[in-house]
Amino acid sequence: MALGLLPGNVLITRLEALVNWCRKNSLWPMPFATACCGIELMALGASRHDVARFGAEVFRFSPRQCDLMIVAGRVVMKMMPVLQRIWQQMHEPKWCISMGACASTGGVFDTYSVVQGIDRFIPVDIYVPGCPPRPEQLIQAILDLQEKIQREGTLLGREFDEPRRNMPPRALLENPGERPLPVQPF
Amino acid sequence: MLSTIQRLRENFALLEESQFRGQKRVVVPREKVFEVLKFLKESCGFDMLVDVTCVDYLTYPRRPPWGRFGLVYNLLSTETGERLIVRAYCDVDSASVPSVVPLWEAANWLEREVWDMFGIRFEGHPDLRRILLPEDFEDHPLRKDYPLQGKGERHNLPVITRAEG
């Protein structure tokens, strides 16, 4: 085979695998930090936990430069249009991490203004439990996301057209009727 | 030298006076609240309005007889350090009181917040818009008859899917 003629420092791979490898190791996070999870997010970027080891240290505050949105904290109904606009301003391919109980489910804030999980209104790839999650958990989320990108990523981003990924979010599947709470006499 | 309460008592018909751990509180009629606060500012030296807030006594067992909403003005004299809490009560159908923005500019945003959360209208306010909630919000959520989980405001938002995003 002609392979034997190649010098020792040449590797052969598929183009998609190479692109995925590049993408997964240079995630640029967009920190959407609205609450205490944001503090853990800052700890993740600081020297002790040092997310630079995983290539995701370049926090940018312009969505045009980012490809990983980390929603850290509760999102209220007034903030949701802002979040959606920032998400739409990010370039493809892009991913989203829902960090903490509040961003994923609303957490303890089951009130009129707090959105009960951002996945009702924008796509989410990875959920991180915790209140707030430790930076190690977020590192695990980034590692899981890297694995996901390596496994299913495509050169032209065709994986985002998959029917499973385009299933309607929960807001369309279920009708979250309000449970009427009786007015408690105190 | 007369105390503030004594001077108030001389000039106005107070509905109630009370004291709790050194905090002096008076209740005044809703129609008189502007004159009382003007008197307190100009003659008693209460030059700072610390807070304007409101309490909804809808399901309160010992509900005050003067109305459902208790409007609370928290005053401070920066010269003597004296504090005074002035209350006025109003009901849903009469949910309006004169604005005190002409007396203290600080009342502007505080009264907007009370309007936003309790739906109490401040007559003569220069710019009575919602301050915290979105402009198109329709209710006043800190009223006790407003459901805790809202009336669907947090669900009525556009949905962005992968294909659209």
Q: Which residues of A touch B145 (CB under 8 A)?
A: 183
Residue A64: band (very low, low, confident or very high) from pLDDT cuts 50, 70, 90: very high
Residue B125: band (very low, low, confident or very high) from pLDDT cuts 50, 70, 90: very high
Is there a domain that residue A104 lies in? yes
Q: What is the rounded average pLDDT of the residues A167-182?
A: 51
What's the gap in Å between the CA of A69 and the closest CA on chain B? Answer: 13
Residue B150: band (very low, low, confident or very high) from pLDDT cuts 50, 70, 90: confident
Contact by Cβ (8 Å): B66, B11: no
Is there a domain that residue B6 lies in? no
pLDDT digits (tens, 9 = 90+) for B64-123: 889 899 999 999 999 999 999 999 999 887 778 899 999 999 999 999 999 999 999 999
pLDDT digits (tens, 9 = 90+) for B25-77: 999 998 889 999 999 999 988 999 999 999 999 989 988 889 899 999 999 99
Q: What is the rounded average pLDDT of the residues A64-78?
A: 93
Sheet holding B16-20, edge to edge: B16-20, B23-27, B83-90, B69-76, B48-56
Structural domain boundaries, residue B46: 12-155
Reference B87, options B66, B107, B67, B70; nearest CA is: B70
Is there a domain that residue B121 lies in? yes
State yes or no: pLDDT of B157 exceeds 90: no
* Interface probe with B: pick from A77, A88, A110, A172, most Cβ of B within 10 Å: A77
Is there a domain that residue A184 lies in? no
Query: Residue B25: what pLDDT?
Result: 92
Is there a domain that residue A180 lies in? no
Q: What is the rounded average pLDDT of the residues A103-125?
A: 89
- ipTM > 0.85, yes or no: no
Backbone region of residue B157 per phi and psi (left: phi > 0; alpha: psi in -120 to 50; beta: other values) = beta
Is there a domain that residue A3 lies in? no
Structural domain boundaries, residue A86: 15-153
User: What's the structural domain count of chain B?
Assistant: 1
* Interface probe with A: pick from B58, B154, B164, most Cβ of A within 10 Å: B154
Could you tell me the two tokens for A51?
Answer: 């997310």
Query: Residue B13: what pLDDT?
Result: 86
Share of chain A residues as helix, strand and coil, in percent rounded to the nearest 5: 40, 10, 50
Q: How many whole angstroms separate alpha carbon B4 and alpha carbon B39?
A: 10
Could you tell me the two tokens for A66?
Answer: 């980012």
Q: Which residues of B touch A165 (CB under 8 A)?
A: 162
With CB atoms and an 8 Å threshold, state whether B155 touches A120. Answer: yes
Q: Which residues of B touch A112 (CB under 8 A)?
A: 141, 146-151, 153-154
Q: How many whole angstroms separate alpha carbon A83 and alpha carbon B107?
A: 32
With CB atoms and an 8 Å threshold, state whether B152 touches A178. Answer: yes
Q: How many whole angstroms separate alpha carbon B139 and alpha carbon A23?
A: 47
Q: Which residues of B touch A172 (CB under 8 A)?
A: 159
Q: CA separation (Å) from A67 to A64, A86, A104?
A: 8, 11, 19
CATH label of the domain that carries residue A106: 3.40.50.12280
Per the model's pLDDT, the better-predicted residue between A178 and A27 turns out to be A27
**Residue B27: beta bridge partners?**
B16, B87
Query: Residue A27: what pLDDT?
Result: 93
> Residue A25 contacts by C-beta under 8 Å, 6 or more apart in sequence?
A54, A55, A146
Is there a domain that residue B119 lies in? yes
The predicted model scores a pTM of 0.83
With CB atoms and an 8 Å threshold, state whether A172 touches B148. Answer: no
CATH label of the domain that carries residue B41: 3.30.460.80
* Interface probe with B: pick from A83, A87, A113, most Cβ of B within 10 Å: A113
Q: How many whole angstroms separate alpha carbon B78 and alpha carbon A113?
A: 37
Q: What is the rounded average pLDDT of the residues A97-101?
A: 94
